[in-house]
Structure 1
């Protein structure tokens, strides 16, 4: 866990340092409350300015801690811990973004989403071929540099994210075909459905607010619930297949 924590902290600090240099100052990000369907409550403190969209970020921390404390052995523990620490860090960062509407935090919120998705293919590769540090470093660096697409086009980030989601899904199906069972297939489908909910509900946040059922618990709120579930079911899928692959290898030995 200490190694995973050190690597996540160092990587995040480098991202903060690069973003603080102003390289991404021209990237299109939302820094007003008008972008969200949930109305700001002026009488509440700034960290609860949009109470539901703010408090839902606790879900990332709770879910991440749950998986961080789950025991794994060997290198699989490191891979699991990195993913869990990413989730734990992601929640507070989104919370700070809502509270401050700071441009730097908004850029980081977008940027770190990419290596989170990229970690899924890294884990898949570990299950099928074992640990390869060079492959991991290559995938993470390519993921981080792909955010440069946001400098080339207003929707560059969305294009990069779509590629990351597609890559993760393809690797997930390949892994399922090689080592999966009925339970892992269920987890994979639930993770993909949660991902679709995350994307669709976030995009429809404002239009859905016309309906009473989305007046307070808005599309953005439910998209975050789906994102947390996406994390959770990805953990379920990958940890199960890690154990299946390890059991298969033990039997061969």
Structure 2
């Protein structure tokens, strides 16, 4: 449990780092205000996510566990929204619509025992579709590595979480360093590489638009 609680600081540090980086980029006009909204929201979500998971682990309250699961879904939907923003722009109504759909999808847990897993799978598909679509529009080499690493970390996040109870049967090491802990490590790196991916694409898009306007 100490490892599982302590690792959540990573979410807070990463979120704060990218919020600060966004402020600097906005200040020197590397990104537009609409871009900063996407970066700020995603990384503020990261800082709160760390706090929510820490509360769940330390209190073991059922409501905190529900909030932990529920809060996971908009993260993936935000990747889709971000991709739409870079592709052709996305208005506040569309952002509200997709965020609401994401939050309401958690109701699947009320109708099926694997409702959350189904909702999460759909969110991952949406995120992957959005990320691939925007890469096809801006196929730059610098975006390849963060995309691949984000995908690897996403797979690690899901698989390690699912195998949490099985891993100790394979090796005693996993009794101390659990699959749940390792999935959090993968998740933190996933958030980092998603940030990196959209940072590269956003800077490329804005650079291209500046050159066109000259």
Aligned to 1:6: none
Aligned to 2:5: 54
Displacement over 3 Å in runs of 4+: none
Question: Per-residue CA shift, 1:116-142, capped at 9, x if unaligned?
Answer: 111111111111112411111111011
Aligned-pair CA distance for 1:104: 1.2
Aligned-pair CA distance for 1:72: 3.2
Question: Between Structure 1 and Structure 2, which shows a larger proportion of helix residues?
Answer: 2
**Uncovered stretches (5+) of structure 2, i.e. residues with no partner:** 27-32
Which of 78, 100, 109 aligns to 2:37? It is: 78
Aligned Cα RMSD in Å?
A: 1.1
Aligned counterparts, 1:7-46, within 5 A: none
Aligned to 2:15: 64
- Verify the 8 A CA contact 1:75 1:131 in the aligned structure 2: no
Give the SS at the match of 1:127. Answer: helix
1:112 matched to 2:71? The reply is: yes
Alpha-carbon separation, structure 2, partners of 1:99 and 1:213: 23
Aligned to 1:18: none
Normalising to structure 1: TM-score of the pair?
0.78
Aligned counterparts, 1:79-158, within 5 A: 79-158=38-117
Normalising to structure 2: TM-score of the pair?
0.92
User: How many residue pairs were aligned?
Assistant: 204
Aligned to 1:233: 193
Aligned to 1:4: none
Aligned-pair CA distance for 1:215: 2.8
Aligned to 2:183: 223
Give the SS at the match of 1:215. Answer: helix
